[in-house]
Amino acid sequence: MTKYLVLLPEALVVAGAVVVLLLARFGPSRYRRWRRALPAVAALILLAALAVELRVGADVGSYFGGGLLVDRFGLFVKAAVLLAAAVGIAVADWGAEDSVSIGLAMPMLAVFGVMVVASGGDFLSVWAGLELAGAAGVVMLATRRPDSALRLLLLGAAASALMLIGLAYVYATAGSADLGAVHAALLGVAPTLPLAVPVLVLLGALIYRASLAPLQLGAGHGLAAPSPMSIGLVAGLGAAAAVVAAVKVSVAVGAVSVAFSPYVEIVAAVAMAGGGAGALAARSPRTRIAFLVAGQTGWVIAGLATQFRGGIGATIFLLGALVVAATAAPAAAGAAGISELAVSGLGTLRPARAAALTLAMLSLAGAPPLAGFFGEFTIGAALARTGHLELLAVGLLGSLLSLVAAIGTVRVLYLQNPPDEGRRGLVALPVWTRLSAFGAIALCVVIAGYGLFANPISSLADQGAAALGLR
Amino acid sequence: MTAAMLYAFAALTRPSPAPSTVPGANIFTSAFILSIGIWAPVLMAFVIGVLPNPRGRYDTLIKQIAFFTNLIVLFILFVAYNQFQNFLPTLQYEENRQWLPAIGAAYHLGVDGPGILMLMLSALVGIISVLASTGIRTRVRSYFALLLLAQSCVTGAIAAHDLFVLVLFWSAATVPLALLILGWGGPRRDAAAWRLVGYWGAGTVALVLAVAGIYVATGGTSFDMEVVLKAPLGARAEVIIGLALVIAAATRLPLFPLHGWVRDVYSDAPIGVVVVVASSASRLGAYVLLRVLVAGEPDGAKLLAPLIAGLAAITVVYAAIAALRSSDIRHAAANLALVPCGVTALGLAALTPLSIAGSVLSLFAGGMASALVVSVFATLSDRAQTRNAMVLTGLAARMPKLAWLTVLAGLGVLGVPLMASFTANEMTFFGAFRTQPVGAFAVAAGLALTAIAVAVLIQRVLFGPPNPDAPAVSDSSLSETWFLGLMAGALLWVGIVPGGPKIPGTDTPLFDPGVVNQMVANIPEIASPYSGTATP
């Protein structure tokens, strides 16, 4: 029975998504009355799954012939994405979404995808989970912006193809698709060029997807921009799936880390500095969020270059902060996030939402004492320990630029007066609901509490790194 | 004053073997006294932030909350100051809890002599900044919430005894201060705020790199200052780390050439914010230099001492010349506020017990003098409706209270007898002339130039012939007189009774054990690696 109980969180999430989709297609007419309560129900399902995960995920084990691993790494990642999705759904402005059913179902399926990646024990489950999360993002985007969805689809397909090539070569070298077996097989193997190239291709594809996916969304202007929830899905959950896969694969092939570490460092440096510079150059809060996410993803990738328990633990720790802020920040901004004018004075008109957006953006910028700062500091400590001081310096520079950009948006939120309705244009303010207010408060609590109560969270992340086979 | 200096020197060289009891001592004890000082303003900032304030109905209540929060914090920290046992060279009011065990970071707070002095400065500045902000009329809730957050960050950085906590509070101070300038500053508030963020951000990058260097060099297991600053690192590592620390300190204190934010911030930030920045927030630069470089990296400190002394001298001379040439009185005041920074840095560069003690006292006295001179000229320009020194002449008769305060501010910057800065300057120079004679001479020459600048400015603005074409002027309001008077009073109090008032006929302190007595705790230990360098 325990064997199946460990699948209960995943089952709850998938069942929730399927029921929401089926209700929209075949639901009775009375369903329309209840539709407004659906986001709250979905958030509750995710929280229930989180509670179950925290209970059953604490018992470490291997199930289904090693295909499913229940360990601290999986527990941490699953808890983070479930919380992120629940908070994101709660804080979202559902009046700005095209379809409530798709807007709820796709994030839940993306969460399921990340959960599969997190608990997958072999290449197949990692790849499948990643594709599921990516596909959910494409579907969500396609409801309003088919062109963006097509771009993301092509990007994902290219990354997927590269990843499959890499996986195939690593499988051929190691003789197994099992991550643990690959780790063991490569321990005695010299990092030759024929092995280094596919590993590079494999990790490159994952990093490509993780760090660039958010940027696909920053360019949308006007009313045809992607819906806020779809941005949160792709920038938060989609990128998280890729990063989680990259963590697992990089640890599995860690024996040949000398082959990919320099590449990872370059990508991380570009993402950290470019994310900060991009955020500074952008004006729209939504674009800024996308660049801030890219910048913090760079920090996460930088952690992969360390390849020791403390460094990967720090990576996992920051990943938790990143996924919550990246998923919920666009949702908190709502449709008004497309321009500075539309969010002017939001602090007066929608104080809880403005506070949530402020804390999320400052956390993504690495401002103390919020979640992102603690994560970036732990990665910085790991980078220093492994002698990557130049990477640390670039990261700090990127964070400084990000901070300036985030302060710029906070200023607009709180220090500028709300524009007249006529000047605001066609962009409506996010609708106030009890659920959105609760979600905004919850987001504030999570982002502030993540750092202040970093001791148990950081320890769990460290145990997660240990579970990956790093001592 | 000489007696005060001798008193301080005696306290340095022969620390009292027994505690001096102060009436009321040990009436209030708490294991979380520092945490209360740090987090109470954060809590009240949150309360203010969520307090409904339709159409500014509760503006007065919000100001009262901010005031009484600071008053309570001041009371608590004054009790801590009173109960501080200056005969102990160890940390007091210590709190130590694990925070990020994976990297060895802990929530470690504690203060020694210099720390308790800085805490008193921060607490006093909290009250003064609220009094200086009573004129705020727009977005009152946001203003006072941000002000409380800024004060909390400064207090946290002072009390931090773990490098992680230090970095956290040091960098966190930038965000509320920048928002305060952006929201309530003068015409050039954008330039002021972004320059502050740029310079302080660069300083934070330098500090983090220095901390990372220390962390790695000591094995990468702890950020606790008790651990990492006692481990020998080697001269090369200490110099590299020390350079990063000097950059961090020079951006914050500031020192030439990293002073680019000063003019805009001091002339365009709201006065309440100027008070915080010019006094306690900027003094964190010197405090970090003392706490980390001087106390923890003796080889690096010795090798970098000429550089720091040189920067100090250039800063003072540059500030004096720039003040002399400025026709904008707020710019002139901003430049004058740099002078005490140079004196503080000189004391740290000299590395003698007396100069370090002078430097520590200068953290308080220089901070107060800088804040006073900047805020008095800001008030003066507000009241006179112009900042142009060519237009503002002969104001003494029309604004007598501000004239007195302006004179006191000028004297405070110069460090004349009866002012706290006099004792600090004398201790610094007496300690510095043997180890850094060139630097000390240059700083002294800079002070002479500063005297000329102050004299010219005061003579022109206050005692020159009245300008009939100048806009109408008015004297300072009650709240302005209070906050400026408090700063001037603090300078005079410490200057006149540095050892604290005594019960007549006894050596028992009346209610204040004396700044000079309390601050010396742990200074002999900080200076002990340099005892071979020179003895004053």
Please indicate whether residue A57 or residue B437 has the higher confidence score (pLDDT): B437
pLDDT in tens, A4-53: 788 899 999 999 999 988 887 777 766 666 777 889 999 999 999 999 99
Q: Is the dihedral of CA A359, A361, A363, A369 positive or negative?
A: negative
Apex CA A101: angle with CA A100 and CA A106, to 5°?
A: 105
Q: With contacts defined as CB-CB under 8 Å, which chain B residues touch A390?
A: none
pLDDT greater than 60 at residue B232: yes
Instruction: Compute CA distances A438 → A40, B79, B165, whole Å.
Output: 10, 41, 31
Query: Do B312 and B346 touch, CB atoms closer than 8 A?
Result: yes
The span from the CA of A31 to the CA of A355, in Å, is 33
pLDDT greater than 70 at residue B67: yes
pLDDT in tens, A213-269: 555 555 554 455 678 888 888 888 988 998 899 888 888 887 777 777 888 898 899
Query: Do B47 and B534 touch, CB atoms closer than 8 A?
Result: no
> What is the mean pLDDT of the segment spanning A277-294?
90
The span from the CA of B278 to the CA of B357, in Å, is 21
pLDDT in tens, B201-231: 999 999 999 999 999 999 888 999 999 988 8
- Note the helical H segments in B253-352: 262-268, 271-276, 282-288, 295-296, 298-325, 329-336, 339-350
pLDDT band at B431 (very low <50, low <70, confident <90, very high): very high
What rounded mean pLDDT belongs to chain B? 89
pLDDT in tens, A339-349: 888 888 888 88
pLDDT band at B17 (very low <50, low <70, confident <90, very high): very low
pLDDT for position A215: 57
Nearest to A458 among B102, B194, B204 (CB): B102
Q: With contacts defined as CB-CB under 8 Å, which chain A residues touch B102?
A: 310, 313-314, 317, 378, 458-459, 461-462
The span from the CA of A114 to the CA of A132, in Å, is 8
pLDDT in tens, B364-420: 999 999 999 999 999 998 888 888 888 888 888 888 999 999 999 999 999 999 999
pLDDT band at B1 (very low <50, low <70, confident <90, very high): very low
Q: With contacts defined as CB-CB under 8 Å, which chain A residues touch B204?
A: 396, 400
Which of B338, B362, B366 has the alpha carbon at shortest distance from B428? B362
Enter the tokens of residue B213: 């260097």
pLDDT in tens, A85-105: 999 999 998 887 888 889 999
- DSSP state, B476? -
Query: Do B73 and B126 touch, CB atoms closer than 8 A?
Result: yes
- DSSP state, A121? -
The DSSP-derived string for B99-142 is EETTTTEEEEEEE-HHHHHHHHHHHHHHHHHHHHTTT--SSHHH
Chain CA centroid to CA B142, Å = 25
Query: Do B375 and B128 touch, CB atoms closer than 8 A?
Result: no
The span from the CA of B329 to the CA of A230, in Å, is 54
Query: Do B329 and B381 touch, CB atoms closer than 8 A?
Result: yes
Nearest to A458 among B101, B197, B205 (CB): B101
Which of B440, B202, B488 has the alpha carbon at shortest distance from B342? B440
ipTM value, please give it.
Answer: 0.90
Contact A377 B215 (CB under 8 A): no
pLDDT for position B154: 96
Q: For residue B16, with 0-12 CB atoms within 10 Å meaning exposed, 13-18 middle and 19 or more buried, which class applies?
A: middle
Query: Do B164 and B100 touch, CB atoms closer than 8 A?
Result: yes
Regarding pTM above 0.80, the answer is yes
Q: Which range, of A221-235, B191-205, B356-370, B491-505, averages the lowest pLDDT?
A: A221-235
Q: With contacts defined as CB-CB under 8 Å, which chain A residues touch B175?
A: 362, 367, 403, 407
Crossing angle of helices A193-212 and A285-304, in 10° steps, is: 150
Please indicate whether residue A137 or residue A204 has the higher confidence score (pLDDT): A137
Q: Are strands B92-100 and B105-111 parallel, antiparallel or unpaired?
A: antiparallel
pLDDT in tens, B316-340: 999 999 999 998 999 999 999 999 9
Q: What percent of chain B has pLDDT over 70?
A: 93
pLDDT for position A467: 87
Chain CA centroid to CA B511, Å = 23
Q: With contacts defined as CB-CB under 8 Å, which chain B residues touch A404?
A: 194, 197-198, 201
Contact B179 A382 (CB under 8 A): no
Q: Given CB atoms, is B204 within the 8 Å cutoff of chain A?
A: yes
The span from the CA of B105 to the CA of A215, in Å, is 34
Contact B183 A317 (CB under 8 A): no
Interface test with B, best of A407, A441, A453, A460 (most B CBs within 10 A): A407
| Cα end-to-end distance, chain A, whole Å | 32
The span from the CA of B271 to the CA of B291, in Å, is 29
Give how far A78 is from chain B: nearest CA, Å: 21
Contact A414 B142 (CB under 8 A): yes
Secondary structure class of A215 (helix, strand, coil): helix
Nearest to A462 among B102, B201, B215 (CB): B102
Contact A403 B175 (CB under 8 A): yes
The DSSP-derived string for A406-445 is HHHHHHHHHHSPPPPHHHHTT-PPPPP-HHHHHHHHHHHH
> What is the mean pLDDT of the segment spanning B447-463?
93
The span from the CA of A458 to the CA of A450, in Å, is 9
